[in-house]
Amino acid sequence: MQQPEEKTAPNREDLRINFFRPRPGFMRKEVTIIWITLSAWALLTFGIPIHLAINHVDPVETLARVPYLLGVPAYFWFSGQFLILWFIFLCFFFNILIDWLSSSYRRRRS
Amino acid sequence: MEANYKFTAFILLGLTLVISLIVGLMTRRHDSGGYGIQVRSIGHANIGAAIASNWMSAASFLGIAGVFFVQGYFAFAYVLGWTGGYVLLLVLMGSQIRRFGKYTAPDFVEARYDSPVARAFSAVIAIVISLIYCVAQYKGIGMIFAWMFGIDYTQALVFGTLVVLSYLVIAGALGASRNQQMHYLILIISFVVPLMLIAKKLGYNWLIPQFSYGQALQDLPAKMSSDYLFPWTFGTPYEWIALCFTLMVGTAGLPHVLSRFYTVPNSRDARWGVVWGLFFIGLLYWSAPAYGAFAKSWLARTGTVLDPAAAEAIADIIVIKAAEWVGLHEIFVAILAIGAVLAAISTITGLLVTGAGAIAYDIYYRMINPNANERHLLLVAKGSTLVLAFLILVIAVNPPGLIAQITAVAFALAGNTLFPVFLLGIWWDRANKYGAIAGMMIGTIITFAPILVGHLIPGLRSILPPTSSALIGAPVVILTMIIVSRLTPPPPEHIRRFLVEKVHSP
């Protein structure tokens, strides 16, 4: 009776890893944090160029109409200076959350 | 000829290389006493400085300013691609790659996909990435030596290769390692201080030239100013987004960037090191466009007109030209040139050693002669270094583009091949060796098709620009890997178990 059970045991074990169907517990929460960070990363990095591509096609009209910041069009300042800060912030934010998640799971485990 | 001979720069360069070797020797002795304890005690900021120092090449030091000088806003695709890629790397792979515990891309591929063929394929890709990356560095060295000695670019290139190889041989013979923190400090100071002085010479806020260059752009004649500030003067929105995305996924798939994660004690240190690393890299990337803007400002003030070909010809040393044009003291111009050469030499030596190691171990030992002893392998590695150096020299004689553009092709290859292999290798247990091999094959074709047959197929280069092919390439490769993996047997159970228990466990 014991033999078939031993044979089927590994099959029942869940070894699936899938980013879109994360395992319950640590991985599911980790993937949620990843989604939040990636959304914030993609939205600002590609959102502004997409907005510019749709709404600003003429140089003269664009440069006359857009708001200015530190002597340059706001989108220019945003791409050249702000986004690097944004990336650093996102990495910081991600690390804080993952540190919190890891320590809470390690505590639970011990 | 003598008038062009930048004696100060040459002497300072020699001195810097000697000091770098001496500090490298001291670091080696210090480390040998207790490497583990040393690494643990250096802190996240130091890990970040090491990440930044490893990252800063001629593409960062010379390339971005060059592209900005020629293409204005469009250059921000490089700035954002090469910084935003670290977010992608950290978020999707940082901890997991560190927990996987394999030191090189081929090691990871073999361990994860259980296939010597996939390993060999990834090793060849890693070597080609190094090769392309080095061509860009060679161009930087060639142009600076040509400027420094007033000689022809090809002669300067040959001389530069000899300097690189001599440095490699001496450092290897002495066993000197690079002090990453000192290296970063030299690079960032040699980049930012001359920039502050240039801003001062031109009458702009010199304390934060990273912000005041906007004013310099506003002061340009109206047409020139609008060309620089308008986002789509030098490229379409698709080209900008494709380039930015390619550089991001390329960063996350670049073998020598991933290897950096293993030199830190644990995954938490690796993660926090990235935050600091990004800040240190950011200091350079905030500054680089300012060189291009100030150079343009000087040209406009003096009424100097450069046609597009002439502008492109000097773009890759515009950092040095800007300092020279505004009349900075020769010592500061020399410091800039040394920073650039140092960035290029350190990148080349690192990549040559890694590339030669991959040829000797991953190709020769694993596939051709498994009975080779260590002495034999060392000989193969040394021979490979020479062959690689010569090959790069031959390609660099006729550089196919600006430094940043050449480097971008290496990123496209990494983004189209290794990035999907790493990503699915970590985040999908079902990805198998057949999928990985098929994916790398398709990724290689997508990268090189526009370069090799782009002129024969109308529209191919518009859809897949050689520098930016990963916006389409990476998703296609991921899809290929998924389909092929689904149609073939799953990977062995011990690998899937390892993923669950070690790689995805806190």
Q: What is the pLDDT of residue B36?
A: 33
Architecture of domain B2-397: Up-down Bundle (1.20)
Give the DSSP letter string of B416-468.
Answer: HTHHHHHHHHHHBTT--HHHHHHHHHHHHHHHHHHHHTTTTSTTHHHHS-TTS
> Where along chain B do its domains lie?
2-397
Domain limits for position A34: 2-109
Residue with tokens 């002795």: B29
End-to-end CA distance of chain A: 35
Residue B483, pLDDT > 60, answer yes
Complex ipTM value:
0.91
Q: Render B252-308 in DSSP notation, one character per residue.
A: HH-HHHHHGGGGSSSHHHHHHHHHHHHHHHHHHHHHHHHHHHHHHHHHHHHT----H
Q: Is the per-residue pLDDT at A42 higher than 70?
A: yes
pLDDT of residue B95: 86
Q: Is A63 on the interface with B (CB under 8 A)?
A: yes
Q: How confident is the model at residue B2 (pLDDT cuts 50, 70, 90)?
A: very low
Q: What integer best gives the mean pLDDT of chain B?
A: 90
A12, pLDDT greater than 70:
no
Whether residue B106 has pLDDT greater than 70? yes
Residues of B in contact with A46 (CB under 8 A): 241, 244-245
> Does residue B118 or residue B40 have the better pLDDT?
B118
Yes or no, beta carbons of B285 and A84 under 8 Å apart: yes
Look at A105 and B506 and tell me if their CB atoms are within 8 Å. yes
Query: What mean pLDDT do residues B479-485 have?
Result: 98
Is B114 or B366 the better-scoring residue by pLDDT?
B114
For A92, name the nearest residue in chain B, comparing CA atoms only: B275
CA dist B347 and B369 (Å) reads 30
pLDDT tens-digit profile of B17-46?
Answer: 888 888 877 765 554 433 333 444 458 888
CA distance A1 to chain B (A): 25
Asked if the Cβ–Cβ distance from B214 to A46 is below 8 Å, we say no
pLDDT of the residue at B262: 67
CA distances from B242 to A22, B8, B446, B462 (A): 29, 42, 14, 11
How many domains is chain A built from? 1
Query: At B272, is the pLDDT very low, low, confident or very high (cuts 50, 70, 90)?
Result: very high
Q: Kindly write down the DSSP assignment for every residue of B343-365, as one continuous string.
A: HHHHHHHHHHHHHHHIIIIIIII
Interface of A with B in 1-20 (CB under 8 A): 10, 15-19
Say how far apart CA B184 and CA B54 lie, in whole Å: 8
